[in-house]
Amino acid sequence: MTQAKRYHPLVLVFQLKNLIRNMIIIGVYLFVFNAGSDDAFYTYARYIFLGIFALIALSYVYKWFTHTYKLDTGAFQLYKGLFAKSRRTVPFSKIQNVQRHTSWLHRLFGMTSITFETNMEDHDDSVTFRAVPPAEADRLEDVVKQHEAETETGEAEADAAEGDAETEPSAPPAKTVHFRPGTKDHIKASFLSLSFFALIPVIISLVSNVDSTDTFNRVMESGFVSALIDAWWKITLIVVLFAAAAVIFGAVKTILQYGRYEIASDDERIYITKGFFQTSSFSVQKSRVQAVEYRQPPINRWLGMTEMRLISAGGANAAGGTENITSLYPYMSTARAAGLIEEILPVFSITDAMTPLPRRSLFVRLVRPSWVWLIATGLLFYFEPSPFDIYIPWWILSAVLLVLVILSRLLDFAHTRYAVHNECIQWRKGGWTTFLFVTKREKVSEMTFKRGILQKPAGLSTMVTINRSNPVKHTDIDDIPVDSARDMKDWYSRRTGDILTE
Amino acid sequence: MESSLQQPERRLSKKAVRVWVITSILEQFINIAVLGVLYYLDQRFSWPDWVNWILIGLVVLIVLSAVWSIFISPWLTYRHWRYDVNDEFLQLKRGAIREVHHIVPMTKIQSIATKQGPFLRKYGLLTLTIKTLNSEHEIPALPEDTAIDVRNLIARYAKIKEVEE
């Protein structure tokens, strides 16, 4: 592959699709809603709209002609420009993760899209192929993987990773599938997906309809009891039907999203695949995972479920896909999640022996002024809103908010725990939704300790870790004792022993 | 295990206080000048009453900030600023009211630059700007030769890069 290639011509189709998607609202507004309008404004606007559309579409064609790519030893070479040419080199060693997304349109053409995410200093740094035949995508991914494997084993880069189409990658190491949701998981997910709740207002409005008109008339006409029973029968039927519809709706949605969900890994990498018709996949080298984050919204916590997220240094959104695939199956039981991390990323294993905060932290937290409450109270006092035409004095709303703030702080205090074990540091925090964050010493690229005016006399400190991610990930824990902060500093100072230097 | 992290001890140049005082005074002069122009316009074109009140509020603010930034802040900043460099870490610690302590591994430092405004130059001082992939830090107002030494030291230690994974 010494010759630089153009991207696949079907790229144009996908760009056109995106363009249409972005401009369709304006288009419909101009051409459908105001179709009959002879107003000069709309006439000109239509021409301008068409002009812009054509220009952008043409620019895509121009780009297709002038943009080419090539794989050489250890890097992507991306060329562009007709007269002023530019070349961008993206070394394979900078690639943080690989994402694939196959939309229904890709499926129609037998194509897929693939993105190689990097974390280089310049902004426009990922390598995206909007449309490639799956075989070509496999080949690209293999070349990158091959390179990783070879640099890993310490072979000279020069003679390795030629990246030729002819070089068949050595037999890929066996993948182990760690997690595939079963029927039980699907059922749980269907009940939990929020679409279920979206139907509640519909039910309420229907019920109140039945109640107000029908029942009322009947009560007037015939016997009270029979009418009530009649109405209740109807109401029950409607509720049951809607509950069934909601669950089916949720189930279909879940199956479309998580139907073929799979978490797999081999020695080197972690693979996540999801989607039924539209599929997305994500793969990251294990050693490039920066941190693991567990998130538990209240409902999930009550049901013992956890959402897990792998933090890696590259960007996290697949081309054209809005779904964030770095978050693992969100309806996994907490025990299963912990076990899974044990299997795929043993270095990030979590310990249960965590230290809670001392009582003086709670005191400091309760005393600390709540800006949200102060500002909200100011606004309430000034505007005296009456939502839904119900008059509530402003100070009652303010008091309710204060109670919520205090409750959230109490919960946060009760949830907050931290531990430093071996090379890992982990902590949990959060009031309503809790987060548990685990990272390794070598992945923490900087640490900051802060002591505010309230924390100093109480002997407390705030700790912040900075991890490489996109955007840079700052994670903090408030109000830990200074002694623990000192231990963390010492722990961090032994970092030098963990890292390899070039 | 022996910790390689001592509390940072090195301090900024004492002359920094003078530079900060001078720059603060200058800033306050500019503020007063702007306010003066506004007051003149207010009188000249008889602006509505509430403008007057805002101007009075601004005067109070300027007086308070002048007291803080000329008579208090420079000394406090100098008293509490510490930094240190060893072959493994750069440490920066500052803040009288809110103490902030940064620990930056040498291997993560990407670039280091010196900076000198007219007042710093007059007193023979330099400001160091240290950049990592994820953050940017400053050591303000070091004596020129110390600054150069520290810069060279960091440059030497930071030359070693860790294998990025």
Q: Give the C-alpha separation, A49 to A291, whole Å.
A: 46
A155: phi > 0 → left, psi -120 to 50 → alpha, else beta; which? beta
Closest-CA distance, A451 to chain B, in angstroms, reads 5
Helices (H) and strands (E) in chain B, counts: 5, 6
Q: How far is CA A268 from CA A74, A149, A265, A335, A437, in A?
A: 18, 8, 7, 24, 23
Q: Using a CB–CB cutoff of 8 Å, tell me whether A472 touches chain B.
A: yes
Decide which of A34 and A452 is more confident. A452
Q: Using a CB–CB cutoff of 8 Å, tell me whether B89 touches chain A.
A: yes
Q: What is the pLDDT of residue B93?
A: 94
| Angle at B154 (CA atoms; ends B153, B160), nearest 5 degrees | 110
Q: Which of A3-12, A316-325, B103-112, B137-146 has the lowest mean pLDDT?
A: A316-325
Given pLDDT bands bounded at 50, 70 and 90, which one contains residue A124?
Answer: low
- pLDDT (tens digit per residue) in B106-134: 888 888 888 888 989 999 999 999 988 88
Most confidently predicted of A34-38, A210-214, B18-22: B18-22
Given pLDDT bands bounded at 50, 70 and 90, which one contains residue A318?
Answer: very low
A285, A287, A489 member nearest B5 (Cβ): A489
Q: Give the C-alpha separation, B143 to B149, whole Å.
A: 10
Structure tokens at A231: 């109405």
pLDDT tops 90 at residue A364: yes
Decide which of A388 and B98 is more confident. B98
A13: phi > 0 → left, psi -120 to 50 → alpha, else beta; which? alpha
Determine how β-strand A332-333 pairs with β-strand A305-312: antiparallel
| Angle at A41 (CA atoms; ends A37, A43), nearest 5 degrees | 60
Q: Collect all residues with Cβ–Cβ distance below 8 Å to B88 and sequence separation of at least 6.
A: A493, A495, A496, B4, B105, B106, B157
Selected residue of A268, A480, A496, A500 to mutate for chain B interface (largest B Cβ count, 10 A) = A496
CB A294, CB A308: distance < 8 Å: yes
Given pLDDT bands bounded at 50, 70 and 90, which one contains residue A235?
Answer: confident
- pLDDT (tens digit per residue) in A251-297: 787 788 777 888 888 888 888 888 888 888 888 888 888 889 988 88
- pLDDT (tens digit per residue) in B38-50: 989 988 888 888 8
Q: Give the C-alpha separation, B73 to B80, whole Å.
A: 11
Q: What is the pLDDT of residue A323?
A: 44
The kind and range of the H/E element at A289 are strand A289-296
**Alpha carbon of residue A478 to chain centroid:** 25
- Measured from the Cβ of residue A501, the count of other Cβ atoms closer than 10 Å reads 10
Q: Using a CB–CB cutoff of 8 Å, tell me whether B162 touches chain A.
A: yes
Decide which of B3 and A301 is more confident. A301
Q: Nearest chain A Cα to B3, which residue?
A: A490
Q: Give the C-alpha separation, B9 to A175, whole Å.
A: 53
| Angle at A313 (CA atoms; ends A310, A317), nearest 5 degrees | 70
A384: phi > 0 → left, psi -120 to 50 → alpha, else beta; which? left
Given pLDDT bands bounded at 50, 70 and 90, which one contains residue B3?
Answer: low
Given pLDDT bands bounded at 50, 70 and 90, which one contains residue A218?
Answer: low
Q: Using a CB–CB cutoff of 8 Å, tell me whether A269 touches chain B.
A: no
B97, B102, B134 member nearest A468 (Cβ): B134
Strand order through the sheet with A424-429: A332-333, A305-312, A289-296, A434-440, A424-429, A417-421, A355-356
Given pLDDT bands bounded at 50, 70 and 90, which one contains residue A415?
Answer: very high
Instruction: Using a pLDDT cut of 70, give the percent of chain B over it.
Output: 94
CB A357, CB A427: distance < 8 Å: no
- pLDDT (tens digit per residue) in A162-171: 444 344 445 5
Q: What is the pLDDT of residue A97?
A: 84
Q: What is the pLDDT of residue A228?
A: 62
Q: Give the C-alpha separation, A192 to A229, whole Å.
A: 32
pLDDT tops 60 at residue A385: yes
Burial zone of B83 (CB within 10 Å; 0-12 exposed, 13-18 middle, 19+ buried): buried
Q: What is the pLDDT of residue A168?
A: 45
Q: Nearest chain A Cα to B97, which residue?
A: A453
**Chain B positions in Cβ-Cβ contact with residue A287 (cut-off 8 Å):** 165
Among residues A410, A406, A405, A404, the alpha carbon closest in space to that of A362 is found at A410
Given pLDDT bands bounded at 50, 70 and 90, which one contains residue A208?
Answer: low
Q: What is the pLDDT of residue A300?
A: 81
Q: What is the pLDDT of residue A52?
A: 92
Selected residue of A288, A499, A500 to mutate for chain B interface (largest B Cβ count, 10 A) = A499
pLDDT tops 90 at residue A192: no
Domain ranges of chain A: 5-172, 185-258, 350-502
Q: Using a CB–CB cutoff of 8 Å, tell me whether B136 touches chain A.
A: no
Structure tokens at A70: 């090539």
A287, A288, A502 member nearest B161 (Cβ): A502
Closest-CA distance, B131 to chain A, in angstroms, reads 12
Among residues A311, A285, A280, A7, the alpha carbon closest in space to that of A131 is found at A7
**Chain B positions in Cβ-Cβ contact with residue A449 (cut-off 8 Å):** 100-101, 103
Q: What is the mean pLDDT of chain A?
A: 80
Q: Which residues of A321-346 are buried (b: 16+ CB within 10 A; e: fewer)?
A: beeebbebbbbbbbebbbebbeebbe
Given pLDDT bands bounded at 50, 70 and 90, which one contains residue A150?
Answer: low
Q: What is the pLDDT of residue B33?
A: 94
Given the cut 0.90, state whether the ipTM is greater than it. Answer: no
**Chain B positions in Cβ-Cβ contact with residue A495 (cut-off 8 Å):** 88, 105
Q: What is the pLDDT of residue A183?
A: 81
Structure tokens at A401: 């908010």
pLDDT tops 70 at residue A202: no
**What is the DSSP-derived secondary structure letter of residue A7?**
P
